[in-house]
Structure 1
Amino acid sequence: MNLAIDIGNTCAKLAVIENGQVVDFFKTDTLSEVYLEQLLENFPDITGAILISVHEDSDAPIEALLRRRLGRFIRFGHGVPVPIRNGYATPDTLGADRLAAAVGAATLYPGNNVLIVDFGTAITFDFVSAEGEFLGGNISPGAATRFRALHHFTRKLPLCELIDREVFMGRDTVSAIEGGVVNGIVYEVEGYIRDLERKYDGLRIIFTGGDSNFFAKRVKKPIFATYDLVAYGLNRILEYNAK
C-alpha cells in the first residue's frame, strides 16, 4: 500500500493506493505532521510514499516524517526516473504535477494519444503520444484566476465565482462575467480538442483538477474525468523506481 501526496497552491491532496487503485482520498487546506501521523496510523499497511510540493522550503518536517516512518520514500522532481519519455525542452522547469499527470495518463491509456486538461489555479493542456512520450503543453489562467483578475484590474466589476447554471449571453454584469469566463474556457478547451483530433487518431481526453467535473458537463466530447490522475502517476513512478 502506497501514499501519494500532492501539495499544491491551495490545498494538499493525499491518496492511499493499493494494487494500483486509489482506495481512499483526502484533501486538507494545510498538511500538518499531526494530520499525517494520524493517517499513517489509520492505514498501517502503507509502506511507501511519494511527495510533490510547490512549497519546498516549508514542508521539510513532512518529508522527514515520511522518511522516518516508511521504508520507501521519493520526493518527486527533476531527475527522478519516470516510465515515459519526456520531450519537454526544459525538463528542469516542468512542474512535477504536470509530469506526474502525464505518467498517470499513460498508465490509464497505454498506447493511446491523450490530452490532459487540468482545471486548477491554472488550466494546463498537456499531451502524451501513443508512443509514450510527453510532448509538452500550454498553461492558461484557471476559472478562479480569471474571476479575480477581472475584479482586481477593473474599478467596478464584482468578484464572481463558478455557478452551476447555463449562461450564453449575460443579461446583467454578474451573468456576463460568469458567461464570459465559463464559455471562454469551454471554447478554449474545445478548440484544443478539435485541433488535436485532426492530427492524432483515437484521441483520449482526461479532465482532472478541482473544476474538472464542472467543465466535463459543458464540453461536448467523450471525456474521462478523474480527480486523482496525479496520484495514479505518482504511484506508478514510485513503483517504477522500486524495481
Structure 2
Amino acid sequence: MYNLIVDIGNTFIKYALMERGELRDECRAERFSGGALTAWLGGRRAVRAIVGSSRGDASAVAAALRGLGIPTLLFTPETAVPLGNDYLTPETLGRDRLAAAVGADALYPGRSVLIVDFGTAVTLDVVSGGRFRGGFISPGLRSRFRALHDYTAALPALGPCDETLPVGRSTREAMQQGVQQGLCYEIEGHVGRMRGEFDDLLVIFTGGDAEYFVKRIKNTIFADCDLVLTGLNRILEYHVHAEK
C-alpha cells in the first residue's frame, strides 16, 4: 500500500509512490489524465494521496483522485504543516517551496539548511530551528536563455550545456557560459552570505536543472531531486497521524 504524491509544477506534473517514507516509483506528464494515472499504477494500491500545485489547478486533480476512490489531501495555504513559518505573506508562498522546506527539515532535523531549487524559477530558501525563515526568487536557467532569445533580435534559442569554459569564443558559447556561470556566481554569493548568518549551514540542490550546477559549485552540497516529493509525503503523514 502506497501514498500517492502529486506535484503539479509549472511545466510537468510529477506522480510518486511512497512507502514508509521511501520513494518506490515516479513518473511525470504534461497534463493530468485519470486513465493514464490508473494505467501507471497498475495493480498497486494508493491508500491516500496529496496534491500540491505551483500553478493553481490542484482542486480539479484532487477531485479526480477522489473520484478514483483515493482519499486525497489538497495542499493549500491553510493546510497545517510540521514546520513553523516566518513568511510575512504565507498565502503567497509557493506550495513547492514550503514542501521542500518540510522535506529538508524532516531529513536533516536540527540543521540549518539552504535549499536551492533549479526549476522554471530559481528559489533559495532557508530552514533553521524548525522554521521556514524566507528566501529568494529569480529567473531559472531556461527562463534566462528564453529571455535572451525573446527580447533580442539576433540571439539564438539555446539551452544549457555541460561544458565549463574560461571564456566564450562564439555567440553560442558566450550565451551558455554567461547564463550558467552567471547563475553560479549568483548562487555562490547567496551561499557565502547565508553561511555568515547561519552556523553549520547545509546546502541542498534540487529541481530539474540541479545537475548542471552540482559539479560547478563545490561547497559541501547535497543533491536531492526528490525533496518536494519527500516534503509532500511528510505533510500527508502528518495529517494522517493528526486524525488518529
Identify the TM-score tier after normalising by the shorter chain: over 0.9
Q: Which amino acid counterpart does residue 123 of structure 1 have in structure 2?
A: V
Shift of 1:40: 3.4
**Preserved CA contact (<8 Å) 1:167 1:178:** no
**Preserved CA contact (<8 Å) 2:59 2:74:** no
Map of 1:60-139 to 2, 5 A cutoff?
Answer: 60=60, 62-70=61-69, 72-129=71-128, 131-139=129-137
Shift of 1:91: 0.3
Structure 1: how far apart are the matches of 2:205 and 2:189?
15
Structure 1: how far apart are the matches of 2:112 and 2:56?
32
Deviation larger for 73-82 or 23-32: 23-32
Structure 2: how far apart are the matches of 1:34 and 1:94?
31
Q: 2:25 matched to 1:27?
A: no
Question: In the comparison of the two structures, how many residue pairs are matched?
Answer: 240
Shift of 1:190: 0.8
Structure 2: how far apart are the matches of 1:167 and 1:200?
33
Equivalent residue number for residue 56 of structure 1: 56
Q: 2:213 matched to 1:215?
A: yes
Shift of 1:148: 0.7
Instruction: Structure 2 unaligned segments of length 5 or more: list them.
Output: none
Q: Secondary structure at the match of 1:149?
A: helix
- Distance change (3 Å), C-alpha of 1:19 and 1:58: closer
TM-score (norm 1): 0.94
Q: Give deviations 1:56-87, integer Å, cap 9, x for gaps.
A: 34861x32232133453111010000000011
Q: Secondary structure at the match of 1:111?
A: coil
Equivalent residue number for residue 201 of structure 2: 203
**Preserved CA contact (<8 Å) 1:49 1:70:** no
Q: Give deviations 1:191-223, integer Å, cap 9, x for gaps.
A: 111111112111111111001121111101121
Structure 2: how far apart are the matches of 1:228 and 1:32?
22
The Cα RMSD (Å) is 1.4
**Preserved CA contact (<8 Å) 1:102 1:126:** yes
Q: Secondary structure at the match of 2:167?
A: coil
Structure 1: how far apart are the matches of 2:160 and 2:138?
17
1:239 to 197, 214, 237: 237
Deviation larger for 117-126 or 34-43: 34-43
Structure 2: how far apart are the matches of 1:168 and 1:189?
18
Q: 2:36 matched to 1:38?
A: no
Equivalent residue number for residue 11 of structure 1: 12
Q: Secondary structure at the match of 1:216?
A: coil
Shift of 1:53: 2.0
Shift of 1:227: 1.4
Deviation larger for 176-185 or 165-174: 165-174
Q: Which amino acid counterpart does residue 76 of structure 2 have in structure 1?
A: G
**Preserved CA contact (<8 Å) 1:48 1:70:** no
Q: Secondary structure at the match of 1:105?
A: helix
Shift of 1:39: 2.9
Q: Give deviations 1:13-50, integer Å, cap 9, x for gaps.
A: 11110001111111222221111122333422x20100
TM-score (norm 2): 0.94
Structure 1: how far apart are the matches of 2:3 and 2:56?
21
**Preserved CA contact (<8 Å) 2:104 2:113:** yes
Residue identity over aligned pairs, in percent, reads 47
Equivalent residue number for residue 152 of structure 1: 150
Deviation larger for 160-169 or 115-124: 160-169
